[in-house]
Amino acid sequence: MPYLLSFSLFFFLPVLLFAQDKYQLFYAPNAYSLTPKQEADLSKILQARPLSVLKIQPFTDDLGSDIDNEVLAENRAKTIIQFVQKQGFEQLQFEQLPYERQPLDARLPAAEARQQLRRIDLYFYNAEEFEEVKNNDVWTSFYSKQRKEAQQFFSFSAQKGKFIEGKEGIQIDIPENSFLGPDGQPYQGQVSLVLQEALSMKDMILQNLSTSSNGELIETGGMIYLAAKGENGEELSLAEGKDLTVGFPGAAAALPGMQIFQGPNTTNPHNDINWQATGSQRIGNEELEKQSRIAPLDSDYFLAQKKLLYLLNEPILSLFNRKPLKPFKQPSPRFKGERSFMEFEDYLAKKIAQKAGETEKSYQYRIRKKKIKLLKQYNNKKRSWKKKYRAYQKDSSRYDEARSSYEAAQKVYQEFLDKEHQEAKELLAYLEAFSHERLALLMAMHKKHLYAVFDIYDYGRYSATLGGFQEVLPVYQADKAGDFTPEIAATNELLPQLPGDIYEKSMLGYIGFLNKYYEKEEKNWAKNIAKGEAQPLLIWTKDEALEALKIKLAQLLKEEADGFSPRGQKQYFKLKQQLQKKKQKDIYNLRNETYSDYILYSQAAEKEQQRVAQLCPRIDSLAAEVLAKKERYGLLEKEEARKKMLSQMKVSGLGWINCDRFLNAKSGIMNLTVAQASSNTQYFLVFKNINGILRADNQASFRNVPKSYFAKLIGIKQLGDRIQFMELSAEVKEMNRMQQSFEDLSQEELAAKLEAL
């Protein structure tokens, strides 16, 4: 469909016709009337094809009050409707959406950006097209209404800051002078702050939210949305270094590993939020968080261990026993030239040539007598030619064999030279990486990392947690203060898996070896160990002979960078022999044995640590379930005199903010399809015990779902003004296209159902 353009110097901007039947009318400031040119262009658009519905979406710039802009947008929409009806389209239905006030495009000059915002978007549909769009609009309207109802507004001076508390218990401490204007300069006027809380599963479903990061489920302690505007409606941002202090209420926000995840700064309810971890944890508890669990070893640890094993295994020196090939000196085979036969007539013509002016008859008469004698000579010559040809054939065969043998030998020797050259490069890399100083540094890093993750005290904390559950939960059960039957069973299952003596023995054995090792080093080798230092770093004297060999090898590879010549390979072999003799005289083997013992001890400790680390998430999950039940049964008030738990975290940006932690699911994941795709039905998976929720895509499918977890499948269906609801509970892997039954609900009944999740 071609673009329809109209221009005006004073009252309007172009009307743009897009391929998807979206048309835009642009206006001058405070203008709402259609000019004759605009009316003509709009009339052509209306006549283009059969239409049943016209949807109108007004927009305004960032200037003026909301009330003034709403009136202006309403007048613009009314003017369009009146014009369309006068054109004879009385049967055309109109869908008018509330006006939107959008921020300026920072990439454009302010005046041009405001012109782009002073517009109305028109969408034209036939009956079938509108039915599909209407379903999406119903959900947009539904979720937009829920999010709008959840919004809370606060006004304060940017220069003074503000402490605010939301209806659901969110607390936000905003420092003074925390905001920047659209121009990046400090903002000093009045701030209008919008807060939107989503702390319960009900809020998350009604606001169309989910908890996933890069496609994987995460646990949440609550979500909020923050936006700040200035006195003239301009968008504000947080200044660098002016972090907000946000307090999240409830037991879930206090679970170990909780941190801040950020989402986009948008209120569009159909935008999927891919939460991204910022690393910001509870204030004053960063070190506590690190020590509050026995963390699995990370990639840095395994990288250091890989370097240690590389230096200890001597991957290149083990090749020294390979016998060198002799230099390739075989001469290239030579081939004699080919000989050929000559016919008798040619031979005769060569012996007795025809004279100039002599006729053919005279020539034949002249040579007739000589033919017999020449034939005898020719036959003798022919026998000699045949003998030579047979010799040629034999020589040709021998040449082919010699050439093939020569090329094969040449290839073998070249491959040998290439292997030697590659080995030399790897050996140089090994020698550059190897030194006792490097090994000592890697061992110190290795030891430091192991000390950081092996926390016997923290291990005892987990044992104490289970021990406490073993003591107190049966008491609550006996007093009928609540049903803790599954938690008691889980405690009895986990306790035998946490024998303190095995973990402590492994760790103390490792520490004992380190102490003995350093004591031995202090007596025998050069070092710079300070007295009383807890973690000394051993330093050996530099090996000058090894350095000299390394320099020679580097120079040789520089001279023969493209591959070894026979001379270069001979020099390399001599260097290897010198290195081998040096190695036999060196005391390195004794040190190597010590290094190997170190690796064995640390690997044994690591194995035990990993076994225990697998139990920690299960104990954390059990602790969260117990805490949630205590909260539900009102036991927390009896146990603690203080108010409800509040986890405070630093937040460095506005938009969507989530208090989450990574799930670390061990049960495997799957993709789950729960129903036929339908534009009027939305599905959610609710994981109550782990405080997680997933939203299905437009194909009624969930991606990367932990398949062994129990969850509730929630379905909400919109049929015009009717709402239908369904829920079922099962293990995720059993939910694939399970039988579903929807029931009609009112808005109040839907809220009550979701409140009970």
Among 109, 125, 141, the domain boundary falls at: 125
Range of the domain at 707: 151-280+652-755
Helix (H) or strand (E) holding 357: none
pLDDT at 197 (0 to 100): 92
Tokens matching residue 83: 């014009």
Instruction: Confirm whether 290 is domain-assigned.
Output: no
612 vs 66, 463, 496, CA distance in Å? 59, 11, 12
Beta bridge partners of 248: 647
pLDDT at 535 (0 to 100): 45
Confidence category of residue 595, pLDDT binned at 50, 70, 90: low
Task: Looking at the structure, tell me whether residues 452 and 354 fall in a common domain.
Answer: no
Among 566, 600, 632, the domain boundary falls at: 632
Q: How far apart are CA 195 and CA 147, in angstroms?
A: 10
20 vs 121, 523, 543, CA distance in Å? 12, 83, 75
DSSP 537-560: ---PPP-HHHHHHHHHHHHHHHHT
Task: Looking at the structure, tell me whether residues 612 and 659 fall in a common domain.
Answer: no
pLDDT at 633 (0 to 100): 84
Nearest C-alpha neighbor of 122 from the set 41, 49, 54, 40: 54
pLDDT at 195 (0 to 100): 92
Confidence category of residue 358, pLDDT binned at 50, 70, 90: confident
DSSP letter (8 states) at residue 164: E
Count of domains in the chain? 4
pLDDT at 122 (0 to 100): 85
Distance, C-alpha 191 to centroid of its chain: 36
Does residue 288 carry a pLDDT above 60? no
Q: How far apart are CA 331 and CA 406, in angstroms?
A: 8
pLDDT at 525 (0 to 100): 44
Average pLDDT over residues 74-87: 86
Nearest C-alpha neighbor of 72 from the set 33, 35, 113: 33
249 vs 253, 337, 610, 621, CA distance in Å? 7, 99, 33, 18
Q: How far apart are CA 719 and CA 507, in angstroms?
A: 63
Weakest mean pLDDT among 57-71, 432-446, 560-574, 614-628? 432-446
Instruction: Confirm whether 308 is domain-assigned.
Output: no
Which of helix, strand or coil describes residue 714?
strand
Q: How far apart are CA 680 and CA 692, in angstroms?
A: 24
Contacting residues for 720 by C-beta, under 8 A, at least 6 apart: none
Instruction: Confirm whether 249 is domain-assigned.
Output: yes
Does residue 326 carry a pLDDT above 60? yes
Task: Looking at the structure, tell me whether residues 450 and 576 fall in a common domain.
Answer: yes
Instruction: Confirm whether 212 is domain-assigned.
Output: yes
pLDDT in tens, 506-528: 777 777 766 666 666 555 443 44
Task: Looking at the structure, tell me whether residues 450 and 428 fall in a common domain.
Answer: no
Average pLDDT over residues 695-699: 83
Q: How far apart are CA 115 and CA 120, in angstroms?
A: 12
Does residue 170 carry a pLDDT above 50? yes
Nearest C-alpha neighbor of 172 from the set 275, 246, 262: 246
Helix (H) or strand (E) holding 594: helix 588-633
pLDDT at 286 (0 to 100): 46
Instruction: Confirm whether 259 is domain-assigned.
Output: yes
Nearest C-alpha neighbor of 253 from the set 224, 291, 217, 296: 224
Q: How far apart are CA 253 and CA 562, in angstroms?
A: 61
pLDDT in tens, 634-655: 887 766 543 345 778 889 889 8
Nearest C-alpha neighbor of 685 from the set 662, 706, 656, 665: 706
Strands 276-277 and 259-262, how do they pair?
Answer: antiparallel
pLDDT at 64 (0 to 100): 78
732 vs 671, 674, 686, 727, CA distance in Å? 10, 10, 11, 13
pLDDT at 307 (0 to 100): 78
Read off the CATH number of the domain in which 119 is found: 3.30.1330.60
Confidence category of residue 9, pLDDT binned at 50, 70, 90: very low
Does residue 327 carry a pLDDT above 90? no
Among 566, 599, 632, the domain boundary falls at: 632
Task: Looking at the structure, tell me whether residues 367 and 507 fall in a common domain.
Answer: no
Average pLDDT over residues 379-400: 79
Q: How far apart are CA 374 and CA 347, in angstroms?
A: 9
Task: Looking at the structure, tell me whether residues 185 and 211 fall in a common domain.
Answer: yes
Task: Looking at the structure, tell me whether residues 588 and 604 fall in a common domain.
Answer: yes
pLDDT in tens, 335-352: 665 556 677 777 788 788
pLDDT at 194 (0 to 100): 92
Nearest C-alpha neighbor of 735 from the set 710, 715, 698, 757: 710
pLDDT at 580 (0 to 100): 77
Which of helix, strand or coil describes residue 374?
helix
Cβ atoms of residues 492 and 474 within 8 Å = no
Confidence category of residue 224, pLDDT binned at 50, 70, 90: very high
Instruction: Confirm whether 422 is domain-assigned.
Output: yes
Q: How far apart are CA 660 and CA 185, in angstroms?
A: 32
Instruction: Confirm whether 292 is domain-assigned.
Output: no
Helix (H) or strand (E) holding 706: strand 701-706
Does residue 229 carry a pLDDT above 60? yes
Give percent of the chain with pLDDT exceeding 70.
Answer: 78
Q: How far apart are CA 274 and CA 277, in angstroms?
A: 10
Task: Looking at the structure, tell me whether residues 414 and 448 fall in a common domain.
Answer: no
Match 């495009």 to its residue by tokens: 105
Instruction: Confirm whether 456 is domain-assigned.
Output: yes
Report if pTM > 0.75.
no
Tokens matching residue 424: 């030399």
Average pLDDT over residues 398-423: 87
First-to-last C-alpha distance (Å) of the chain? 50
Task: Looking at the structure, tell me whether residues 559 and 445 fall in a common domain.
Answer: yes
Match 């606060």 to its residue by tokens: 154
pLDDT at 657 (0 to 100): 92
Does residue 3 carry a pLDDT above 60? no
Report angle CA 473, 475, 478 to the nearest 5 degrees.
110
Does residue 737 carry a pLDDT above 70? no
Task: Looking at the structure, tell me whether residues 428 and 369 fall in a common domain.
Answer: yes
Task: Looking at the structure, tell me whether residues 580 and 543 fall in a common domain.
Answer: yes
Match 């049903």 to its residue by tokens: 483
Task: Looking at the structure, tell me whether residues 425 and 448 fall in a common domain.
Answer: no
Does residue 111 carry a pLDDT above 50? yes
